[in-house]
Amino acid sequence: METIGGAIAAFGSATPAVTTTLVTTDRVVVVVSKNGSAGTPSVSGLSGTWVANVTNTSTFDHYIFSTGSVTGTGTVTVNVGSSAGDYLLYVLRSDVSNAVVFVNGGANNVAAANGGVLLSLSSASTSAGSLHLVSGYISGGTLSLPESSSSPNSGFTTDRSNGTQGLYLSRSAPADESIQMSLTSSTVYNGSIARANYYDNHVPTPPSSGFVGWGVPIF
């Protein structure tokens, strides 16, 4: 899995170069989080058709975009809109050459929540071998994600952190499970949380994952 991320200034964009030689079964995913909701984030490049799998446009913009059926290498343009933001790009590849597809996702937000008040997503069914991406952003304090009440609340890899206020996590499901995610902050905060589940329709033989290379560069 290749990951590329960074901060984007207001009205700005980032142009990460994908160095993995893509095949048509790969899926390129871009998670965009912002400290506002002015303007509309967008992603383009790789001659792909980009789809917003998950959107949250209240309190903060929080999007998860993806594209598939692309080949070779190239540059992706991530536009953040009119507020400063942050992004992380993933390249997802199946170990059995199946197409990696979006299965389900969700997002939620909160405004002026007291410190310790949870921001949660409803539970989502996750098949063994699938990859679950989670992103959280808060306006102030220290982010706790996954919060201890999340289920599961361990087994996640931190793919990128943005100070104490933003996190991007991933989890390869070792078995069929239901994931319920929550975050909180140490102080009064505005916040947003987004998740997306991707799968290659390959049920692994326990205890191995259905994908090879999650968290291991393939370039």
Asked if the structure places residue 142 within a domain, the reply is: yes
Share of the chain above pLDDT 90, in %: 87
Segments forming the whole domain that contains residue 176: 2-199
| Type of residue found at 188 | V
Phi first, then psi, for residue 174 (nearest 5°) are -75, -20
What are the structure tokens assigned to 159, written together? 């793919």
Q: What is the mean predicted confidence (pLDDT) over 192-212?
A: 76
Asked if the structure places residue 211 within a domain, the reply is: no
What are the structure tokens assigned to 84, written together? 């400063």
Bridge partner list, 132: 171, 197
Asked if the structure places residue 215 within a domain, the reply is: no
Asked if the structure places residue 124 within a domain, the reply is: yes
Distance, in Å, from the CA atom of 27 to the CA atom of 193, rounded to the nearest integer, reads 22
Asked if the structure places residue 218 within a domain, the reply is: no
Asked if the structure places residue 66 within a domain, the reply is: yes
Residues 182 and 138 sit within 8 Å (Cβ to Cβ) = no
The predicted model scores a pTM of: 0.91
Number of domains composing the chain? 1
Three-class secondary structure of residue 148 per DSSP: coil
Asked if the structure places residue 212 within a domain, the reply is: no
Q: Tell the residue number behind the tokens 């991707």, with chain if given.
A: 198
- Kindly provide the residue ranges of all beta strands, DSSP E only, lying in 57-153, ordered along the sequence: 62-68, 72-79, 85-92, 101-113, 119-120, 124-126, 131-138, 143-144
Q: Show the CA angle centred on residue 166, arms to residues 161 and 171, nearest 5°.
A: 65
Per-residue pLDDT tens over the stretch 70-127: 999 999 999 998 889 999 999 999 989 999 999 999 999 999 999 999 999 999 999 9
Give the pLDDT confidence score for residue 153 in this predicted structure: 93
Asked if the structure places residue 209 within a domain, the reply is: no
